[in-house]
Structure 1
Amino acid sequence: MPFVESRRACQSWACYKPHHHPTFSIGAVDGGTSVFTGAPSGPVLLSPGTLVFIPASRVHACNPAPNTAWSYQMLHLDAPWLQAVRREYLRTELMEDEPVRIVTDPMIYARFCFLNALLFGEADPLEKEAALIEFVVDYDSEQGLFIERPLVPLNLAEQIQPALDYLYTWPTVSTTLDKLAVLAGMSRYQVIRAFRAVTGMTPHAWQLNQRVNLAREWIQSEDSLADVAHNLGFADQAHFQRVFKAHAGVTPGSFRG
């Protein structure tokens, strides 16, 4: 089932940097208190039994409350797969600029836990996919607390787009602020401010995040982790490991499993 990835963590102290990924994510808080960052109005506390539905490419982070541990589940869905499912039941309006949703319904949480246990179990892949589609269709709704994307002036998003396109095209090349400034027709200061407004990150943080997203795919190859680190443009394997864990919550070796 290449279109779904599931993780579970128990009594974790790991903290994530603000990040984004190309998948649609569904997180569940099983124990402890979590803090969701990524809302324009400020952090949101999440209690056990809470689900968070996070669209692809939305910058966010969920971390335990200070000096505490928490337990959680995280499901990542391939965005094209989800779009195909949505087209089947004509919910195409959900594909553009949808908000993060925070849901506190005990029945939906229980249903999610059942689904994730099934995905981790020995059931036939067809049964797993059927259960996943049912969950998506049943709860792809307008229920919950909405966290909209921050409002960004259209002209600013258009002006920064050439710099973003360059980083998309050359993710493993270390790119200077001077280069991005020329591409965007801005000063270096303006580029930093524009990137933060449009993406929620500085240019350097955005590029590191993009490399981590690529690493999630490349780690599954037969290449050594040292080769993956080198090919992604990291200084060495230790640097790669630190950055990957800060974004993914586990080391590259653990992720490869």
Structure 2
Amino acid sequence: MSNALEGKAALVTGGSRGIGAAVAVRLARDGADVMLTYREDTASADAVAEQIRAMGRRAVVTQADSGDPGAVVAAVNRAAGEFGRLDIVVNNAGAFLLGALEELSLEQFERTVAVNVRAPFVASQAAVRYLPAGGRIITIGSNVAERTVFPGFSLYATSKAALAGMTKALGRELGPRAITVNLVNPGPTDTDANPAHGPDAAAISGLTALGHYADPADIAATVAFLAGPEARYITGATVNVDGGFTI
């Protein structure tokens, strides 16, 4: 285990499975105490917390629907209260709604924007009251914000593309406070929502330069780097961890 994040406290939204779970575990492995939010799967969230505690780190689990701005703010406040500090915020929770343009409802639009755009903004807004110099805000986007090769992604891609502008603007605003803000865009990643052996996996893998899916740990490694001291001069950046999907 690394000690690059020793003494740090982190909040990871949507940390019960997939990329979020991998990020939570990796930050703990590098020394951080971690609070993770989840929407429904209590058992999975508790399992991630147990992995973190087994490393000798503190872990807190809280239920929060990222579509509810009050719940997002409460999660930030609780993380700072539980740990007595907050150094790292990872906006990972996301809504993945696909469909033909003419079939998408206004409710689906509002839900997607609420979770994928409003929640990271609200969490960042709440967190800056606690983040010290050297604080980190890292948001998980998507490769489809830069390259959309299948139909049905108009709503999801729109929401994820908004994060690049948010990241740049927050990076500029918070730079004088030595708080960095960065965006990580994963490519095809082996999760329950998009398994590496699913029915479309071969076609999706073929769109990458490397020819295969990422493991969630690959995304988590990049997040951990951006959260650490060696990334102190990186802000407002979009980092594609996509196996060459967007080249």
Instruction: State if a TM-score over 0.5 links the two structures.
Output: no
Length-normalised TM-score, structure 2: 0.30
Q: Whose radius of gyration is greater, 1 or 2? A: 1
